[in-house]
Amino acid sequence: MPYIKVTTTAKVAPQTAENLKADFGKAIENFPGKSEQWLMVAVQDNVPMWIRGDNSADTAMVDVELLGSVNADASNKMTADVCDILAKHLGIAPDRVYVKYTGYSTWGWNGGNF
């Protein structure tokens, strides 16, 4: 039950959003047992944002939420992949990206909880 939310200053065209979703679907496999089959992705674009007080270039905040604990090695690999994906599709420099990880012990779906 992974969820990835990208909030960015960049304008994201529909095809670019599809490409982000596809690449995040591969990257989520950094976490054991996670796959695109259960991945939900949200992209919120054109959001005014500043990083270190600067809004002169595109910026992104990425929230990665998982059922279970967040493995440090997997999250390190994921952060590298997220930065590569955002640079590839949106031209956002890695030093303008924050990635936040949250693990949950309970996750609801389809009227029940896992």
The string of pLDDT tens digits covering residues 29-76 is 999 999 999 999 999 999 999 999 999 999 999 999 999 999 999 999
Domain region containing 26: 3-107
CATH of the domain at 50: 3.30.429.10
Confidence (pTM): 0.96
Residue count (the chain): 114
39 contacts 2 by C-beta, under 8 angstroms = yes
Each residue of 11-31: pLDDT tens digit?
999 999 999 999 999 999 999
- The confidence score (pLDDT) of residue 98 equals 98
13, with CB counted inside 10 A (0-12, 13-18, 19+), is exposed
Per the structure, how many domains does the chain have?
1
Does the residue 114 lie in any domain? no
Contacts by 78-82, CB closer than 8 A, 24 or more apart: 78/27, 78/28, 78/30, 78/31, 81/23, 81/27, 81/30, 82/24, 82/27
Tell me whether residue 112 is in a domain.
no
Classify residue 25: in a domain, yes or no. Answer: yes
pLDDT score of 64: 98
In a domain, 69, yes or no: yes
Closest CA to 82 of 69, 56, 64, 68: 64
pLDDT for the residue 70: 96
Percentage of the chain surpassing pLDDT 70? 100
